[in-house]
Amino acid sequence: MSIDSAAPVRAEEPAISARTATKRTVLMCKPQFFTVVYRINPWMDPALPTDTSLAVQQWQTLYDTYVGLGFDVHLIDPIDGLPDMVYAANGGFVIDNQAYGAKFTHVERQPEGPAYMDWFGANGFNVRVPIETNEGEGDFLLVGDVILAGTGFRSDSNSHAELSIIAGRPVITLRLINPSFYHLDTAIAVLDDTNIAYLPSAFDAPSLAILQERYPDAVIVSEEDAAILGLNSYSDGYNVVIAARAKDFERQLRARGYNPIGVDLSELLLGGGGVKCCTLELRR
């Protein structure tokens, strides 16, 4: 099956149903030590300068946005020498008070796994230490009672079975094929319990067929918006916090009855992360 990388044709939008915001509880990490000193994804270039103070300012805007939406925002202390710790979504997957820890692929990030598991344990979660390599909510996305799970670059597909046993929910494997979209949360945005947005060209043909069958009314995002990690967004079911420059995605969301809120995380994009990367949902 060939995958057309051209911008999607604007079809008639599905009928809009009422959207309901649900209070979220999330974990974040201030980018106090953010910089780019190694390269483990195509977005990173140690030769390019980074501005830690700007990264903190942009992150603070995201934090303030969540607080303004009524979210319960928890913070984990950043650790000097772990510049990617700001991407809290990669720190684990939390459901039913169980925290399935992360086991990172790259040695540069491996100390983050124990750091996040220590926080989970200290805050009353039942910590499940991983056997298989996985990068948390970077590759695990809950849609209703189903977990979409990415593989191909970071999380091993064996971790999908491991999580399915822990979570007691079906886990659907999706294979990513574009190195720029190395985590599932860069190629799919969960909008609510039944709706998603995604970039077709990020997936192999069998995975794309699964998405098309399960989510026939999904929002298909343009290559241009995906290229600024527009899909790396976070929704409470009505409000969807997205990259400020993802203007066509913003239009699509409004047409579907959502309330998109744009934030600028351009400095953190230098490390390969956006809104969702900075946001780990805590589900008791």
pLDDT per residue over 231-260, tens digit each?
Answer: 999 999 999 999 999 999 999 999 999 999
- The dihedral over CA atoms of 205, 211, 216, 222, expressed in degrees to the nearest 10, equals -70
Annotated catalytic residue within 29, 106, 160, 183? 183
Tokens describing residue 199:
């970039």
- Coil, helix or strand for 30? coil
Question: How far from 59 is each of 29, 31, 34, 46, 268, CA to CA, in Å?
Answer: 9, 7, 11, 21, 8
Domain boundaries, the chain: 25-281
Question: How far from 187 is each of 49, 79, 225, 257, CA to CA, in Å?
Answer: 26, 28, 11, 21
Question: What radius of gyration, in Å, describes the C-alpha atoms of the chain?
Answer: 17
The kind and range of the H/E element at 239 are strand 239-243
Residues 223 and 202: beta-carbon distance below 8 Å: no
Interatomic CA distance for residues 281 and 95, integer angstroms: 9
Residues 83 and 33: beta-carbon distance below 8 Å: yes
Annotated catalytic residue within 29, 160, 277, 278? 277
Residues 9 and 56: beta-carbon distance below 8 Å: no
Tokens describing residue 87:
């991407």
DSSP 278: G
Q: Which sign, positive or negative, has the C-alpha torsion 248, 219, 190, 225? A: negative
List the CATH code of the domain at 25-281. 3.75.10.10
Predicted confidence at residue 42, as pLDDT, reads: 87
Residues 205 and 176: beta-carbon distance below 8 Å: no
Interatomic CA distance for residues 81 and 90, integer angstroms: 17
Which of 157, 136, 143 has its CA nearest to residue 279? Answer: 136
Active site residue 278: no
Q: Which sign, positive or negative, has the C-alpha torsion 29, 136, 80, 153? A: negative
Predicted confidence at residue 40, as pLDDT, reads: 81
User: From first to last of its 284 residues, what are the pLDDT tens digits of the chain?
Assistant: 333 334 444 444 555 668 999 999 999 999 999 999 888 888 789 999 999 999 999 999 999 999 999 999 999 999 999 999 999 999 999 999 999 999 999 999 999 999 999 999 999 999 999 999 999 999 999 999 999 999 999 999 999 999 999 999 999 999 999 999 999 999 999 999 999 999 999 999 999 999 999 999 999 999 999 999 999 999 999 999 999 999 999 999 999 999 999 999 999 999 999 999 999 999 99
